[in-house]
Copies of this chain bind each other. A is one copy, B any other.
């Protein structure tokens, strides 16, 4: 099993979710995040004093899935989230050794069906 973590712009999340639903991927967990990278932060101003906002807002989507599905999911993410502008985000793939469905105690593949 693999864990796919996608760090994306907040505004594309709904599009991504719908695309994944079409692929038959229902299970996912999301987190609010903030990040920096090649894309730089912004500036704000308050009472004439300016300040930096070095991070930009991001959403992290985590999906645990069977190995053979990772490629199509990655493609779906790129399709839904790539704009071509710096700051589109990253996908990280890492190994998951076991999965348990809390409700039933099922393990492994069964747990994410």
Contacts and interface: CB of A to CB of B under 8 A. Distances in A.
Report, as a range, how many residues of chain A touch the other chain. 35 or more
Contacts of A77: 100, 102
A76 to B, nearest CB: 11
Contacts of A38: 26-27
A77 to B, nearest CB: 6
A31 B33 contact: yes
A85 to B, nearest CB: 7
Interface string A83-107: 1111111111111111111111100
Interface of A: 2-3, 6-8, 17, 26-38, 54-55, 58, 60, 64, 74, 77-78, 81-105, 111-112
